[in-house]
């Protein structure tokens, strides 16, 4: 018998249709956020790593996504080359510059970026900076593949500047809502992904706002969601029956299929300012599900 034939295995149908995986629980990454903003934290990454719960050999926050905080101290640089099809970054604090092969741009707090994966990057901070990023590294690691060369990447470097974001949010805050509206959300895309309606082919990036007295109806979907609170107001989420208050810069995990809602307490005096409108950045592996026709969105 050849060595190739010796590798063959045959699995009974009962096992093939009942493949068990460890459950993923909703949670808030409070300690990781605190460490990212602590005065003594050195330059580097802080991964939101649930690989032990997921049973994976490499860091992962969900089966398909890995989220991190990046701390860059003033005058220092953080270099990386991530094995991902793309990268989503949000600047939470500070300012600086990004250098990639043949590209250079400046960034500041409130900016967001979508970048091709697999490209060597150098982030330099002009003052103490904290960034948040999500990639699909776990998906590529599971498949054992590497990203395309930059010239064949599914997206080009895309910079969402904070002033442009602010203009779009103004429209979002005033948008009329109906009982059937899924939420007060702004989907972000790029020149190459606008047709798909996603930020990256595999991942969606949305800004979700909840005005005082509003609630996003309980719902579920097959995409896992990473929810980063940008402005907490008096908002909280119920995820899988557990309540989580929104805390600025803390990431919440909504596992795939878990029923959840977001609600912001009303103001008793009726006066509403922007600071009273809760705002979160949400990344989902929804691009995969939209493409596979398996998103499964429904009100719970």
**Burial call 89-128: b when 16+ CB within 10 Å, e when fewer:** bbbbbbbbebebeeeeeebbebbbbbbbbbbebebbbeeb
CA 87 vs CA 60, 112, 211, 214, 215: distances in Å: 14, 11, 29, 32, 30
CATH code, domain carrying 99: 2.60.120.10
Q: What is the Cα–Cα distance from 10 to 12, expressed in whole angstroms?
A: 7
Q: What is the Cα–Cα distance from 170 to 163, expressed in whole angstroms?
A: 11
CA 273 vs CA 31, 170, 211, 270, 277: distances in Å: 30, 12, 10, 10, 7
Which residue intervals of the chain are DSSP H helices?
A: 3-6, 13-16, 30-37, 51-54, 137-143, 162-173, 286-292
Asked whether the beta carbons of 68 and 33 are under 8 A apart, the reply is no
In a domain, residue 216? The reply is yes
pLDDT at 25: 95
In this structure, what token pair is assigned to residue 104?
């250079």
In a domain, residue 42? The reply is yes
In this structure, what token pair is assigned to residue 183?
């939420």
Q: How far is CA 241 from the centre of its chain?
A: 22
In a domain, residue 18? The reply is no
Q: How many CA atoms lie within 13 A of 268 on its CB side?
A: 0
How many independent structural domains does the chain possess? 1
pTM: 0.94
In this structure, what token pair is assigned to residue 17?
């249709």
Give the domain range for residue 196: 24-299
Please report, in tens digits, the pLDDT of each residue of the chain (300 residues total): 899 999 998 988 887 777 888 889 999 999 999 999 999 999 999 999 999 999 999 999 999 999 999 999 999 999 999 999 999 999 999 999 999 988 999 999 999 999 999 999 999 999 999 999 999 999 999 999 999 877 778 899 999 999 999 999 999 999 888 777 778 999 999 999 999 999 999 999 999 999 999 998 899 999 999 999 999 999 999 999 999 999 999 999 999 999 999 999 998 877 788 899 999 999 999 999 999 999 999 988
In a domain, residue 10? The reply is no
Taking the chain, what is the end-to-end CA distance rounded to the nearest angstrom? 55
Q: What is the Cα–Cα distance from 99 to 118, expressed in whole angstroms?
A: 14
From the list 63, 79, 77, 68, the residue with the least C-alpha distance to 32 is 68
In a domain, residue 285? The reply is yes
In a domain, residue 57? The reply is yes
In this structure, what token pair is assigned to residue 282?
């949400």
In this structure, what token pair is assigned to residue 190?
């790029």
Residue 215 CB-density burial (10 A; 0-12 exposed, 13-18 middle, 19+ buried): middle
pLDDT (tens digit per residue) in 176-233: 887 777 789 999 999 999 999 999 999 999 999 999 999 988 999 999 999 999 999 9
Asked whether the beta carbons of 36 and 195 are under 8 A apart, the reply is no
Residue 44, φ and ψ in degrees, nearest 5: 155, -175
In a domain, residue 1? The reply is no
In a domain, residue 16? The reply is no
pLDDT at 46: 98
């Amino acid at each position: 018998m050849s060595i190739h034939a010796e590798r063959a295995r045959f699995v009974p149908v009962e096992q093939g249709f009942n493949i068990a995986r460890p459950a993923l629980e909703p949670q808030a990454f409070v300690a990781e956020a605190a460490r990212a903003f602590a005065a003594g934290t050195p330059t580097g990454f802080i991964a939101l790593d649930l690989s032990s719960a997921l049973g994976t050999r490499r860091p992962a926050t969900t089966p398909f996504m890995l989220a991190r905080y990046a701390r860059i101290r003033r005058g220092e640089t953080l270099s990386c080359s991530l094995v991902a099809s793309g990268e989503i970054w949000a600047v939470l604090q500070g300012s600086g510059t990004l250098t990639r092969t043949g590209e250079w741009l400046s960034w500041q707090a409130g900016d967001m970026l979508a970048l091709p994966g697999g490209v060597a990057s150098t982030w330099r901070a002009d003052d103490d900076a904290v960034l948040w990023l999500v990639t699909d590294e776990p998906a590529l690691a599971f498949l054992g593949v590497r990203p395309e060369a930059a010239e064949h990447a599914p997206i080009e470097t895309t910079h969402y500047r904070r002033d442009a974001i602010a203009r779009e949010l103004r429209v979002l805050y005033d948008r009329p809502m109906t009982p059937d509206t899924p939420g007060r959300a702004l989907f972000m895309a790029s020149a190459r992904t606008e047709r798909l309606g996603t930020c990256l082919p595999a991942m969606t990036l949305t800004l979700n706002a909840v005005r005082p007295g509003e609630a996003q109806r309980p719902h579920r979907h097959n995409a896992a969601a990473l929810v980063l609170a940008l402005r907490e107001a008096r908002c909280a989420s119920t995820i899988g029956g557990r309540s989580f208050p929104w805390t600025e810069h803390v990431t919440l995990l909504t596992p795939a299929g878990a029923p959840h809602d977001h609600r912001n307490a009303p103001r008793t005096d009726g006066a509403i300012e922007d600071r009273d409108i809760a705002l979160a950045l949400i990344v989902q592996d929804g691009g995969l599900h939209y493409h596979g026709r398996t998103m499964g969105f429904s009100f719970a």
